[in-house]
Structure 1
Amino acid sequence: MKIIIPVAGKGTRLRPHTYVLPKPLIRVAGRPIIDYIIEQIETLEFSEIIFIIGHLGEQIKNYLLKTYSFPMKFVRQQEFHGLGHAIYLSKDEFLSDEPVLIILGDIIFKADLSTIVNSKDNQIGVMIPDDPRKFGVVVVNKQGYVENMIEKPENPPSNLAIAGIYFFPSSKKLFNSIEYLMEHNIRTKGEYQLTDAMHYMLKIGEKFKAFHINELYDCGEKETLLNTNKVLLKKQSSSYKVDGSIIIEPVFIGKNCEIKNSIIGPNTSISEGCIVKNAIIRNSIIGVETTIENAILDRSLIGDNSYIMDNSLELNIGPDSELINRQE
């Protein structure tokens, strides 16, 4: 079995951060998003993981090669024509018709996939979101098999949304279906969608089983990222004490941080190498080697290597930024 993880997206809803940092490397509860994904799959039996890279792809490649030792390959998506197209680019890496597990590279989830990857049926991970219109949606019968699937419908026929985790016992059948879309120029909103390829497979007699992902956390935009940070921090058991400051759990504080006369927490992640003086920070994520002085921050997302001074704000600023409230 091979695993494909597409990480080529631009992460536009997380700008300005994703102008210079790819979304899978954004930190939540002290760790990059991609780490949480690998944690869920590294115990599975696989021959290699194929990463589809694009926007700022070299950063992702360098991080993965530096951090992990499992077999991996990188395929570049030069032009963006949808998820189906991204998956199809890895076709040449499959020398035989072997199973393939696909996991989108910008989700955080917890699930036991060991049974799923041994199935003889195609498998689609599903969840119940607040707004199914933002997702591909499936209609499932009483036996748990998918009867229909629609990409981002205006009027969803079901509340079961595709969660971004897929298993195909036959990679050949998957690639043939994507190829069919391309040959017949079948697009949704101008792109070749994986959902459309699966819909075609369903049409020609392939069976898909839906499996529920009970723990899946949205990292798509600032507010959902902060909410995910809160949930994940509560699951951690770390406890911190800093002389001269007040720490309100749950928090994460990275290595080599200098914190003086401050209140940190709750629901706050401070990345390594930060300097925090005379500050109150709650419900926030602070990037690597950022300095915050004389500030009160709430529900803020601060990029790496930034400097915040004399501010009381809810902020969303990217890496290498400086924000100083100079009063005449």
Structure 2
Amino acid sequence: MKAVILAGGLGVRLRPYTLLAPKPMLPLGDRPLLEHMIEWLKAQGVSEFVIAVGYMRKAIEDYFEDGSDLGVKIEYARSKRPMGTAGQLKTAEHLIDGRFVLLYGDVLPRADLGPMLDFHGRKGALATMMLMKYYTRIRYGLVDAAEDGRLLRWSEKPEVGGWVNVGCYVMERDFLRYIPDGVPYGMDAAFRAAMEAGEPIYAYKSEGEFVDIGDRESYLRASREFLREMGEIP
């Protein structure tokens, strides 16, 4: 089974950092995020990778080359413009020959992938999305008021959360037929198209946590966490 990693986005929310390097190559500790992702998947038994590249692709290709230094095989699917998550996956179609794991290039799950793979197989799913619990504290007080203005409820800076998509999927190759060729396309649109067609689409609630570097605040928080694990900061 192969893994496909989407690593071609512009990383607009991470500028100015991504003016110097593509988002998956930003360092976390002593290695870029993308290397952490490959090592995580390798530990789950994945040895063949397709990295979908675009923006500043040479930085990725020159660093990883064919993957032999990491003990894996890496191929590259290239796009010349931003394609959206599903559109970028479509560029890798010719390199996919069966069931595969898909991972967005700005997230690192910290969980066992095995139970999700078993779940996907038991359900006969076309695509399975990994969910994890996420909580955040709102900066403002939440207030409920009646139609006449009477104050009903006031929660000061409450913590809210639930199950969220962490950008990790198990898919069958046939899922790609719901993604049009050569146009930018979002993964949410592809999932809706498959569900409307009655395909077996599932979500798996995973125990674990995930590292996200989707914006500057998230990246700085993750970077501090990795440095702390290395013992470099208190």
**1:164 & 1:175 partners in 2: Cα distance?**
16
- Residue 221 of structure 1: which of 215, 224, 227 is its match? 215
Does the CA contact (< 8 Å) of 1:125 and 1:213 recur in 2? no
Does the CA contact (< 8 Å) of 1:37 and 1:108 recur in 2? yes
Does the CA contact (< 8 Å) of 2:9 and 2:55 recur in 1? yes
- Residue 200 of structure 1: which of 171, 193, 202 is its match? 193
**2:207 & 2:189 partners in 1: Cα distance?**
21
Question: 1:240-279 residue pairs with structure 2 within 5 A?
Answer: 250-251=231-232, 265-266=233-234
The code of the aligned residue for 1:218 comes to D
Q: What's 1:100 paired with?
A: 100
**1:45 & 1:214 partners in 2: Cα distance?**
18
Offset of residue 46 of structure 1? 4.1
- Residue 161 of structure 1: which of 159, 164, 180 is its match? 164
Question: 1:170-185 residue pairs with structure 2 within 5 A?
Answer: 170-172=172-174, 174-179=175-180
Give the TM-score of the pair, scaled to structure 1.
0.56
**1:213 & 1:112 partners in 2: Cα distance?**
8
The code of the aligned residue for 2:132 comes to M
Count of residues in correspondence between the two structures? 202
Does the CA contact (< 8 Å) of 1:163 and 1:213 recur in 2? no
3-state SS of the aligned residue for 2:9? coil
Give CA-to-partner distance per residue, 1:229-277, whole Å, 9 cap, x none. 233344x3x5xxxxxxxxxxx41xxxxxxxxxxxxx43xxxxxxxxxxx
Task: Flag the 1:225–1:70 CA change in 2: closer, same or farther, 3 A.
Answer: same
Asked if 1:44 is matched to 2:44, the reply is yes
**2:95 & 2:218 partners in 1: Cα distance?**
35
Q: What's 1:306 paired with?
A: none
Q: Which runs of 4+ in 1 moved over 6 A?
A: none
Offset of residue 71 of structure 1? 1.3
Offset of residue 192 of structure 1? 1.1
**1:130 & 1:68 partners in 2: Cα distance?**
34
Does the CA contact (< 8 Å) of 1:123 and 1:211 recur in 2? no
3-state SS of the aligned residue for 2:210? strand
RCO (CA 8 Å, sep 6+): is it higher in 1 or 2?
Answer: 2
Task: Point out the structure with the larger helix share.
Answer: 2
Does the CA contact (< 8 Å) of 1:125 and 1:211 recur in 2? yes
Does the CA contact (< 8 Å) of 1:101 and 1:117 recur in 2? no
Does the CA contact (< 8 Å) of 2:116 and 2:206 recur in 1? no
Unaligned runs of 5+ in 2: 137-160
Task: Flag the 1:77–1:231 CA change in 2: closer, same or farther, 3 A.
Answer: same
- Tell me which moved more, 217-226 or 16-25: 217-226
- CA RMSD in angstroms comes to 2.4
- Residue 72 of structure 1: which of 71, 74, 84 is its match? 74
Unaligned runs of 5+ in 1: 132-157, 186-190, 239-249, 252-264, 267-328
Give the TM-score of the pair, scaled to structure 2.
0.77
**2:72 & 2:90 partners in 1: Cα distance?**
22
3-state SS of the aligned residue for 1:112? coil
**1:80 & 1:227 partners in 2: Cα distance?**
27
Offset of residue 213 of structure 1? 5.4
Query: Which one has a bigger Cα radius of gyration?
Result: 1
Q: What's 1:125 paired with?
A: 130
**2:44 & 2:113 partners in 1: Cα distance?**
8
